[in-house]
Structure 1
């Protein structure tokens, strides 16, 4: 199992990046001695003003640092393909897949936030190709979102979002966005696990970065 290292003299960055890593549920370790970085730490996160280290990513923005670190957890320097899935609505869902691995899924507070969120994803991930898939529902909000995305200059495909909001017991906009990102062909081929709950539905339905890292498969 690979872990993300943290080495910084910046207390705010230290606090914020630990908070984010816990939110992402990614394993991490604080580096006390920069001369002794554990072998299972493929990447070290530091603030912009910190000393230089091997395997290091510097950014005072903790989310940027984590997004930049993700391919390192899989023994890569970048991803081949990033797909951003968007579930249109008044509180749009956004999800990111990196080489068919679900890395994040969350809900935006409003449609006006989507352009900024997508631009930051495009800026913070390391990749060769990037594209957007947006569901064909809620036309007024979908059109508003697409207008906001025009400035990103990222190609957008409108996909049939049939099956992406089922079952209603566990549905949320982030989950729908993840399913939209994975649509290949006409619509999402929903296969609901017999036993599921809101907490583990992502790991059961998708290959997630969290599951890969915790299982040790990211180091293979």
Structure 2
């Protein structure tokens, strides 16, 4: 059996990835960034921020070690497919389902809308397919459009699926699988992300919670968070620096 390498300086990611790999009896080794990659290593797990330090290697990069391990286990089987369909249930933590020739290969929940595109790119780099089709549920317009925008450079073969025609299930991954198996309407153009005032206010509220009541980001920063330009943590830091300078 091919091995997986865990290469990271992030202790939390390392600890959880190693725990899950042991739990699944998946052979693995731990390497440093400058270490040579042994011939028996199929792929490398690391964080999104450390991805650029591993150029030229087959990498699954995610800040969620559970997703990285689950993808590694699915990809360890390899394979070629006539058609891969990816279903996405949009939301702040989107569900994702990847189907190969009608068979569910992988389902999970990701940490943010911006993680969908890199997760799909990583998966596709390990398999062969003649056709890629992305299907995204129509709900949660702001997060839906954020996801479609990030996927636009992966493929233009993107359908929006009316989720009222699917059986709504508990949990984003199940909903994503239902979306993947439902026909949708081909997207004619890249959507414009337009957060509502209510969504902007809710992000401001979340900034107060995350900062322990110390910081409330302004509406402009909240809007940038809503469209995916910044994470909430980055926006809080920007607001904090702005207040210290004034």
- Give the alignment's TM-score, normalised by structure 2: 0.49
Query: Max radius of gyration: which structure?
Result: 2
Aligned-pair distance for 1:173?
0.9
Rounded to whole Å, the distance in 1 between the matches of 2:184 and 2:155 is 24
Q: Matches of residues 1-220 of structure 1 in structure 2 within 5 Å?
A: 5-6=1-2, 16=17, 19-20=20-21, 22=23, 49=36, 52=39, 58-61=42-45, 63=68, 65-71=72-78, 77-162=79-164, 164=166, 166-167=168-169, 171-184=170-183
Structure (1/2) with the larger helix percentage: 2
- Aligned residue for 1:213? none
The DSSP-based 3-state class of the residue aligned with 1:60 is strand
Structure 1 residues 146 and 58: CA distance shift in structure 2, 3 A: same
Name structure 2 gaps, 5 residues minimum. 9-14, 46-59, 61-67, 186-246
Please list the CA deviations of residues 143-170 of structure 1 after superposition, one character each: whole Å capped at 9, or x if unmatched.
1111111121351011121254635xxx
Please list the CA deviations of residues 81-121 of structure 1 after superposition, one character each: whole Å capped at 9, or x if unmatched.
11110011222111101111111111122222222222222
The DSSP-based 3-state class of the residue aligned with 1:115 is helix
Name structure 1 gaps, 5 residues minimum. 32-44, 72-76, 187-220
Give the structure, 1 or 2, with the largest relative contact order (CA under 8 Å, sep 6 or more): 1
What is the count of residue pairs matched by the alignment? 153
Aligned-pair distance for 1:11?
8.1
Rounded to whole Å, the distance in 1 between the matches of 2:92 and 2:122 is 20
Rounded to whole Å, the distance in 2 between the matches of 1:163 and 1:20 is 38
Cα-Cα RMSD? 3.7
